[in-house]
A = this chain, B = another copy of it.
C-alpha cells in the first residue's frame, strides 16, 4: 500500500480495460500506473507524456517522467492505447480510444481531434479482407491545418 490515500474507487469501462491489459501482461498495478490509466481513460484530449505527467503529478508529488513513459510504453506495446506521433510539436500524443476512427492533427496549433467517419468502417473491412492479416487495431492520422489556423494564415498573408 502506498502512503497515498486510496482515492476514489469507481472505474469506467475504459479505465478497467487499461488496467486489465496490464494485469494480463503480468505487470504490477502500482498506484502510479492506476492514476495514469485513470487520467487517460477520463480525458477527451490526446495528451502527451508531459501533459499526463503534469496532470497526475499533483496526486503523486514524487512522480517521475520516466514512470509515465514506462507505463505508456507498456500500454502501447499491449495495444491498449495508440501513440500518435508527428503532430508537429515533436511530441507523441496518446489515445486510449482504440476504436477505428480518424485523428486530425493540426500542424500549427498541435491539437488532435477525432473525426467520426463511416468510410473508416468500410476501410476496416477491406483491409481485413484483402490483407490476410488478423487485424488487432488501427491508427489513422491525417496532418494539416485546422480551419482556425487556415483563417489565421490567410489573415497573415493579407
Query: A1 an interface residue at 8 Å Cβ cutoff?
Result: no
List the one stretch of A9-17, A52-60, A115-123 in contact with chain B: A115-123
Closest to A133 in B: B144
Q: Are the C-beta atoms of A117 and B127 separated by less than 8 Å?
A: yes
Total number of A residues with any Cβ neighbor in B under 8 Å: 42
Q: Are the C-beta atoms of A145 and B138 separated by less than 8 Å?
A: no
* Identical copies in the complex: 2
Query: A92 an interface residue at 8 Å Cβ cutoff?
Result: yes
A136-B144, A139-B139 known; 9 other A-B pairs, CB under 8 Å? Answer: A83-B143, A85-B86, A85-B141, A86-B86, A102-B123, A117-B126, A117-B127, A132-B146, A137-B144
Closest to A125 in B: B119
Query: A22 an interface residue at 8 Å Cβ cutoff?
Result: no
Q: Are the C-beta atoms of B142 and A135 separated by less than 8 Å?
A: yes
Q: List 10 A-B contacts (CB under 8 A).
A: A85-B85, A85-B86, A85-B105, A86-B86, A102-B123, A104-B131, A107-B136, A120-B123, A133-B145, A134-B150
